[in-house]
């Protein structure tokens, strides 16, 4: 029988410590929306953006230190068979595409030049090489979180933070009469579009938890978060995210129909609720005697004008939709002009500024961003990585857990919105986290101890 000291030796505990470390670090991602709101309300404007970018660097660095220690201790105890590890990695398309994407981005930057913008990114988004590589690492970090308690804790915290943010927006709109204006004054995130990306993921996550939750004590809080999240998303009024939300409704319904677990009453409740929320926002005025309809009209009828600007093909796009067709056309032509390694972020930023007469320097399409900045192969690797996660889920649909299905639907919602959105360092990591949580793992994996959804 082993003595007490031997049974609690550090090498035996390293895998568990690594997993808890990863879980704690992922939970810290959720602090940003709340802390940033408090700091902005106190008059601090931009400092947290740099701090948050640095935090991602610290997260990645700390993860690798812990990971190396874990591998070293497990190696000394012969707990790792490197041949088996190599076989698992090479036999997994998601890992292969992710690795190829990281390598190709490094190669493309080395070819286009290691300038500040290409490595660090612009002053607004910081989505340069380092941040892109960190997104890949966040996916790996999230995969290390296998205990269902940690995953449920993270999801609960995500919905809790989302509820607080959504409640503040709705409270400001209907009680304070837009006195603080969380949406327009960019208090929580850089602007209302980026806030909408976060609200979209919160709303879809709450919607899916309500649909697939097996217990009333889980479904009721999720439904409350969904109500406030949907209301805040409509107040934020970003067309692309609203379209993505509708697509997510359809995807969730299709997945549950195929699984035989579709609940008509729950689905109709969700749809009728969002319709009721819209009618209330449109026709019931707030203390400032303003409805959502008048709010849209005050902003030049956002929906109509936004769509017109979205498809407008002129050299002087207005600031409302930033003339996305002009941006996409420039990015597409640049991708064809330099298909192998792209133009690099610095050169693309200049090209976009010229194309829009100084209005915008971002593509507003995450897929074209990969092809124009790093070349068409980078786009292929990115699509291969994302699609391999979803294809793996479809292949093992009868073995998916509730958390797998919820996470895949949230990831899908973000990807749908990214067709007209910008990759930001405080919202994009959530995509990679949910892709990791939605990634199917075998039944022997602790993640699969969760109740299976598909029969």
Return the domain boundaries, the chain: 19-76+88-449
Label residue 389 by pLDDT band (50, 70, 90): very high
Q: What is the 3-state secondary structure (H, E, C) of the chain?
A: CCCHHHHCCHHHHHHHHHHHHHHHHHHHCCHHHHHHHHHHHCCCCCHHHHHHHHHHHHHHHHHHHHHHHHHHHHHHCCCCCHHHHHHHHHCCHHHHHHHHHHHHHHHHHHHHCCCHHHHCCCCCCCCCHHHHHHHHHHHHHHHCCCCHHHHHHHHHHHHHHHHHHHHHHHHHHHCCCCCCCCCCCCCCCCCHHHHHHHHHHHHHHHHHHHHHCCCHHHHHHHHHHHHHHHHHHHHHCCHHHHHHHHHHHHHHHHHHHHHCCCCHHHHHHHHHHHHHHHHHHHHCCCCCCCCHHHHHHHCCCHHHHHHHHHHCCCCCCCCCCCCHHHHHHHHHHHHHHCCCCCCCHHHHHHHHHHHCCCCCCCCCCHHHHHHHHHCHHHHHHHHHHHHHHHHHHHHCHHHCEHHHHHHHHHHHHHHHHCCCCCCCCCCHHHHHHHHHHHCCCCCCCHHHHCCECCC
Q: How far is CA 449 from CA 19, 20, 409, in A?
A: 16, 17, 20
Residue scoring higher pLDDT (441 or 283):
283
305 closest CA partner among 318, 292, 290 = 318
Taking only the tens place, the pLDDT of each residue in 153-182 is: 889 889 998 898 899 888 888 887 777 776
Cβ(233)–Cβ(200) below 8 Å: yes
Q: What is the mean pLDDT of residues 89-116?
A: 84
With a cut of 60, say whether residue 13 has pLDDT above it. Answer: no
Taking only the tens place, the pLDDT of each residue in 267-315 is: 899 999 999 998 888 887 777 667 766 666 655 444 454 445 444 444 4
With a cut of 90, say whether residue 410 has pLDDT above it. Answer: yes
Residue scoring higher pLDDT (392 or 39):
392
Cβ(136)–Cβ(428) below 8 Å: no
With a cut of 90, say whether residue 387 has pLDDT above it. Answer: yes
Length of the chain as a residue count: 455
In the prediction, which pLDDT does 208 show? 92
In the prediction, which pLDDT does 313 show? 43
Q: What is the mean pLDDT of residues 139-166?
A: 85
Maximum distance among all Cα pairs of the chain, rounded to whole angstroms: 79
Q: What is the mean pLDDT of residues 333-362?
A: 83
Q: How far is CA 82 from CA 14, 73, 78, 89, 97, in A?
A: 17, 14, 10, 10, 21
Residue scoring higher pLDDT (60 or 344):
344
Cβ(33)–Cβ(161) below 8 Å: yes
Which of 25-29, 251-255, 342-346 has the lowest average pLDDT? 25-29
Taking only the tens place, the pLDDT of each residue in 197-227 is: 888 999 999 999 999 887 888 899 999 999 9
Compute the chain's Rg from CA coordinates. 23
Q: How far is CA 165 from CA 172, 176, 285, in A?
A: 11, 15, 21
Write down the pTM of the prediction. 0.83
Taking only the tens place, the pLDDT of each residue in 106-118 is: 999 888 877 777 7
With a cut of 80, say whether residue 152 has pLDDT above it. Answer: yes
State percent of the chain over pLDDT 90: 17
């Amino acid at each position: 029988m082993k003595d007490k000291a031997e049974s609690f030796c550090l090498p035996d505990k390293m895998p568990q410590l690594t997993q808890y470390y990863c879980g704690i670090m992922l939970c810290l991602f959720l602090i940003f929306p709340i802390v940033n709101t408090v700091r902005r309300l106190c008059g601090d404007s931009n400092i947290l953006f740099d701090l948050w970018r640095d935090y991602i660097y610290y997260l990645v660095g700390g993860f690798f230190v812990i990971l190396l220690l874990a591998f070293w201790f497990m190696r000394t105890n012969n707990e790792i068979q490197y041949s088996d590890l190599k076989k698992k990695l090479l036999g997994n398309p998601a890992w292969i595409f992710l690795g190829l994407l990281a390598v190709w981005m490094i190669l493309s930057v080395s070819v286009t030049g290691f300038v500040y913008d290409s490595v660090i990114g612009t002053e607004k988004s910081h989505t340069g090489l380092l941040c892109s590589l960190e997104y890949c690492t966040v996916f790996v970090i999230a995969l290390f979180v296998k205990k269902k308690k940690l995953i449920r804790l993270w999801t609960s915290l995500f919905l809790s933070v989302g509820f607080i943010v959504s409640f503040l927006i709705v409270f400001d709109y209907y009680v304070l009469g837009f006195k603080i204006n969380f949406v327009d004054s960019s208090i929580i995130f850089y602007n209302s579009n980026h806030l909408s990306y976060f609200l979209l993921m919160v709303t879809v996550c709450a919607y899916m938890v309500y649909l697939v939750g097996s217990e009333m004590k889980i479904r009721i809080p999720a439904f409350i978060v969904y109500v406030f999240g949907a209301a805040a998303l409509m107040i934020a009024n970003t067309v692309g995210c609203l379209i993505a939300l509708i697509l997510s409704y359809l995807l969730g319904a299709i997945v549950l129909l195929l699984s035989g677990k579709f609940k008509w009453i729950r689905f109709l409740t969700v749809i009728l609720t969002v319709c009721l929320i819209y009618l209330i926002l449109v026709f019931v005025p707030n203390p400032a005697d303003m409805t959502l309809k008048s709010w849209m009209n005050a902003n030049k009828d956002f929906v109509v004008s936004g769509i017109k600007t979205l498809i407008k093909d002129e050299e002087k796009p207005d600031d409302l939709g930033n003339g996305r067709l002009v941006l996409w056309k420039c990015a597409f032509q640049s991708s064809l002009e330099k298909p192998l390694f792209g133009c690099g972020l610095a050169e693309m930023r200049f090209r976009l500024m010229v194309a829009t007469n100084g209005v915008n320097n971002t593509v507003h399409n995450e897929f074209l961003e990969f092809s124009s900045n790093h070349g068409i192969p980078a786009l292929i690797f990115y699509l291969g990585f994302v699609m391999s996660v979803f294809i793996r889920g479809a292949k093992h649909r009868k073995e998916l857990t509730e958390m797998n299905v919820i996470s895949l639907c949230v990831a899908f919602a973000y990807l749908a919105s990214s067709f007209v959105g910008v990759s930001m360092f405080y919202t994009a990591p959530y995509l990679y986290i949910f892709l990791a949580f939605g990634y199917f793992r075998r039944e022997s994996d602790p993640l699969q101890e969760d109740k299976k959804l598909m029969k």
